[in-house]
Structure 1
Amino acid sequence: MRQIILDTETTGIDPKEGHRLVEIGAVEMINRRLTGNTYHQYINPERHIDAEVVAVHGIDDEKVANEPVFADVADEFWAFIAGAELIIHNAAFDVGFIDHELAMLNKKRREPVLGPVAEHCRILDTLGLARQKHPGQRNNLDALCKRYEIDNGHRVLHGALLDAEILADVYLAMTGGQTALTLETGNQSADNQQEGSEQGLTVQRLTLSPGQLKVIVPDAAEQAAHEAKCQAHKLSWQQG
């Protein structure tokens, strides 16, 4: 299964008010294993970037003045995401901006028509997933990193590729795959012990390569014993 963990940065909050993309970052994961394949692009939004969002992501007009416009990178970006499951935190925001950019692009050319995203990709919103798992709690990316003990100390400002990489770790931790959960060492207070797995576990990323996981195949005697037990359970169920 091919999944793309994706994040964007923008000039403002609402594309309906003329706001545009200024950065796209994405990382590829196949069968829940990060491949190292990434997509990252700064974009000239062809408009002013609001000061309040510059304070969030640090991308100002000067930084993207010489970057390509979305029309120049759209095909490469689309080729990277098309057909994959997209994992996005607060997906409605990012997908809304991408669809807006694609719609403007499609008006200017006949072929190929790109988008909408939801017609070509499955979309998993990790914000919705986090709210289901942790109702009534803060579920922004920083809060989830703290909850799952994922190091995001290098995240001073928002950045599309950095946030996508962090979200990949958060997603894997939330869904229980490709992570190692190890009990903390040392003394813990009674309060800490009662807080359960979220506070009493350390999440570490595995870097296993193919062939490192040992597969143990049952011998003939074990297989026969297993089949006999299954048959006994089946007979018990039929009679009971």
Structure 2
Amino acid sequence: MFKKKPSLPHTPYSEYPLNTSLRELTFTVFDTETTGFAVGANDRIIELAAVTVRQLEVEQRTFQTYVNPCREIPAEITRLTGISGETVENSPLALEALEAFFDFADQTASGIWVGHYVAFDMMVLKKEAQRHGYRLNFPICLDTLNLIGFISPSNQMLDLEKYALQFGTKIFNRHEALGDALTTANLFCALLILLEQRGKRTLADLIEISEMNSRMLQF
């Protein structure tokens, strides 16, 4: 995943044929928490979590780590996430956390990442890698918002919890990376089932829908 001279050793992600059915795909659903939204400038990652989706079900095996941002965590972020300086003071730095996350995805042979408003989380990982002198090559990344845009195009909201309520899926601890990853994963499974019912049954269908409904986050 990292590219540098010399390159940092890392197991390559699995590649799926485009005609692979949804039920044969393995997904890594992930989420981040940060010190703020200016991740291209001074804000840093403080938590990273992920969960595996396989055969349209959320698996029990999860990944979660706090991250030491080497800077002060604003009081409003602590109120929102419950993460304080004391929480992260003995936690790994960003590069170590990213490597652990990649290892988690590799162990499940997942070649597809999923997030809710995933462009932000991708930017978080990309910028943290760049700060250590590495370039991050992403696998296929899917956004639940794009799938919702296909299934229910009239919706313009972004809130994860509201969508979980709309589609009748479980809601876990909000504004915690693992809780939001689990909430997103359960929502994602419900969306995949709805896509199947509409005749969208392959990886190629997912990619097409994502490109048609792509929502890019500007920084």
Structure 1 position 123 matched with structure 2 position 150: no
Partner of 1:162: 179
- Mapped to 1, the partners of 2:170 and 2:67 lie a distance apart of 28
Inter-partner Cα distance in structure 2 for 1:78 and 1:114: 14
Kindly provide the amino acid, as one letter, of the partner of residue 58 in structure 1. Answer: G
Equivalences, count: 166
Q: Which residue type is aligned with residue 147 of structure 2?
A: L
Larger Rg: 1
In structure 2, do the counterparts of structure 1 residues 60 and 150 end up closer, same or farther at CA, with 3 Å as the change threshold? same
- Residues 22-33 of structure 1 aligned to structure 2 (within 5 Å): 22-33=46-57
Alignment correspondent of 1:140: 159
Unaligned runs of 5+ in 2: 1-24, 195-219
Q: Normalized against structure 1, the TM-score is what?
A: 0.63
C-alpha contact 1:130 1:139 (8 A) present in aligned 2: no
CA contact (8 A) 2:73 2:84 kept: yes
TM-score computed with the length of structure 2 as normaliser: 0.69
TM superposition shift of 1:114: 5.8
Structure 1 range deviating more: 32-41 or 2-11: 32-41
- Determine if the alignment matches structure 1 residue 66 to structure 2 residue 90: yes
Runs of 4+ in 1 over 4 A off after TM superposition: none
1:101 corresponds to which residue? 128
Q: Distance in 2 between matches of 1:137 and 1:78?
A: 32
Of structures 1 and 2, the one with the larger relative CO (CA 8 A, separation 6+) is 2
Supply the AA of the counterpart residue of 2:54: I
Partner residue of 1:14 out of 24, 28, 38: 38
The answer on whether the counterparts of 1:131 and 1:139 sit within 8 Å (CA) in structure 2 is no
Question: Matched residue of 2:164: which SS?
Answer: helix
State the 1:86 CA deviation: 0.6
Q: For residue 173 of structure 1, what is the amino acid of its counterpart?
A: A
SS of 1:6 mapped into structure 2:
strand
- Whole-angstrom CA distance in 2 between matches of 1:72 and 1:144: 33
Note the 1:87-236 alignment, pairs <5 A: 87-105=114-132, 107=133, 115-117=136-138, 121-134=139-152, 135-152=154-171, 155=173, 157-176=174-193
1:51 counterpart = 2:75 = yes
The Cα of 1:137 is off from its aligned counterpart by 4.4
